[in-house]
Structure 1
Amino acid sequence: MDSQQSKNTQKFSKMGDFQQFEPDFYQSEYYIDDQEQPAYSYEDAAHQDIDYDAPSPSVYAPAMGLGHPDPPYTGHVFQPAKDSGTDAYTSTDTFEDEPPLLEELGINFDHIWQKTLTVLNPFKPADGSIMHETDLTGPILFCVALGATLLMAGKIHFGYVYGISAMGCLGLYSLLSLMSLVCISYGCVASVLGYCLLPMVGLSTFAIFFSLQGILGTLFALLVIGWCSLSASKIFISTLEMEGQQLLVAYPCALLYGVFALLTVF
């Protein structure tokens, strides 16, 4: 009986200690090991005055010992100075200083006129610097003119004109590459042979109004063949520095222009 009462007494004493500790537990402000840490509540934040004019703390603080931080960006872009002596800055800045469109395309009417005069006058010395250009504007015009005049005479030979021209240029290019010590391009050969086709255009124009199937027509055709071959050989020897070989170059040229003459006469 006494032991039972002593157990009940110990139980009530423990409950009293717990009740005494409970209000202390809820009323405390997180005091742990005598270290004061005041609790933060939203009511305190609402009553706190905020100074908006104060500068905000820096987000990034470089670590010490890692060198100096980069300088702040000032908004200036680095622009290298132009060197007037280089080719990179020789382009024009205004539309007035730009070259004409025909010159950019490689069409020079002055050179076309000079080459035409050289062909029309077989005895005039040829300028090798001008004739060495691969200008195909004049040759294409003369080929179209030859086909158009043949068409007016009732002969549809556009395919023959283009085919014979291409094969003739290729054959003469191979021959001149073997005979000359100076390098020559296929475009240069085609340009010279095309310009020298101008007298043949005159022959085909004459054939529109008169028949060439006679003695006079044959003589006139032979004269035009000699004219074309002489002009072409003169230009080739001036361009390729083949002095004393004009007759050797004129013979294959005469064969080529003879085929055009046959198309015109018959």
Structure 2
Amino acid sequence: MSNLEEHDMDFYQSNYVIDNQEQSCNDSIAYGIFYGSRETQATEQQHPSSSAPPEMFLPSSYAGQIFQPASNSDYYPQFPSDDGFDGERPLLEELGINFDHIWQKTLTVLNPMKPADGSIMNETDLTGPILFCVALGATLLMAGKAQFGYIYGMSAIGCLGIHTLLNLMSSAGVSYGCVASVLGYCLLPMVILSSCAIFFSFQGTLGTVSALLIITWCSLSASKIFISALAMEGQQLLVAYPCALFYGLFALLTVF
């Protein structure tokens, strides 16, 4: 028993001092308080807005309240309203397609004796010429003649030649688009001849006479328009001769 009591006494005895434990605990608390205050001060320096009221950091031009949007128009983009489309031009007019002018030019071509309006004919409108070229090719195709390449090739080369000739004859000058527009509109009588060629044969005398009449019709209409647009009084026959040669090529395609 004495040995057991002596062993228990040795087990509970140690060199651990309670005062040292309390001192180390107090030191750790003081260390945490000191560095905690340091971190709090650093945070306040980095984020000063946390202690200041939010009204101090709003722009001077801001007229609304906090958490409510301002009614100032500078903060919101202005979107165009639907009323702005009322002043827009029609799409066909922006593309250069005017059916009124097309109809007036067509009537001028169909009536060679009608005076031409130079202001309208001076426009580079290619809607009607392209339509008439396609119609001529379609009627020739219905007659068994696929001549689209010849039509476009002769049109481009012929317009270039007459454009050069008119610039040499007139001091005012004319654009290539205007020449192509006038010659294309005056191709309408040739479309009528090619339409008749679907039902009748023009290999004889009737075809020759009809072709000459159509060539005269086309050349007089074209020369009348060029004279009116370029103010070339007294030179209609000089302008009509190269136009007759130009339309004679299409007459050869139609008859033969």
Superposition TM-score, scaled by structure 2 size = 0.72
Q: What is the Cα deviation at residue 104 of structure 1? A: 1.4
Equivalent residues of 2:137, 2:151 under 8 A apart: yes
Please state whether the residue corresponding to 2:198 is helix, strand or coil: helix
Offset, 1:96: 4.2
1:93 is displaced (CA, Å) by: 3.6
SS at match of 1:238: helix
Structure 1 unmatched runs, 5+: 1-25, 27-38, 47-54, 59-70, 80-88
CA distance in 2, matches of 1:56, 1:115: 79
- Which shows bigger deviation, 99-108 or 128-137? 99-108
What is the percentage of aligned positions where both structures have the same residue?
74
2:161 matches 1:151: no
Greater Cα offset, 98-107 or 169-178: 98-107
Query: What do the CA deviations read for 1:159-192 (whole angstroms, capped 9, x no partner)?
Result: 0000000000000001111111112111000000
The residue number in structure 2 matching 1:261 is 251
Please give the alpha-carbon distance, in whole angstroms, between the structure 1 residues aligned to 2:141 and 2:34: 105
Structure 2: gaps spanning 5 or more residues: 1-22, 24-29, 38-48, 53-58, 63-69
- Partner residue, 1:222: 212
2:33 is equivalent to residue 42 of structure 1: yes
Contact preservation (8 Å) 2:166, 2:173: no
Question: 2:192 aligned with 1:165, yes or no?
Answer: no
TM-score (norm 1): 0.69
CA distance in 2, matches of 1:56, 1:159: 82
CA distance in 2, matches of 1:201, 1:109: 20
Q: Which runs of 4+ in 1 moved over 6 A?
A: 43-46
Alignment match, 1:191: 181
Q: Give the SS at the match of 2:210.
A: helix
The amino acid that maps onto 2:169 is: M
Match of 1:116 in 2: 106
For residues 181 and 94 of structure 1, the distance between their equivalents in structure 2, rounded to whole angstroms, comes to 44
Higher helix share: 2
Question: Partner letter of residue 239 of structure 2?
Answer: V
Match of 1:246 among 222, 236, 239: 236
The number of residue pairs the alignment matches comes to 207
Question: Structure 2 residue aligned with 1:142, among 107, 129, 132?
Answer: 132
RMSD: 3.3
**Deviation of 1:98 (Å):** 2.7
* In structure 1, C-alpha distance between the alignment counterparts of 2:35 and 2:241, rounded to whole Å: 114
Look up the match of 1:178: 168
Would the aligned equivalents of 2:102 and 2:128 in 1 still touch at CA under 8 Å?
yes
Q: Which residue of 2 aligns with 1:72?
A: 60
| Deviation for aligned residue 1:56 | 5.3
Correspondence list, 1:58-137, <5 A? 72-74=60-62, 76=72, 78=74, 93-137=83-127
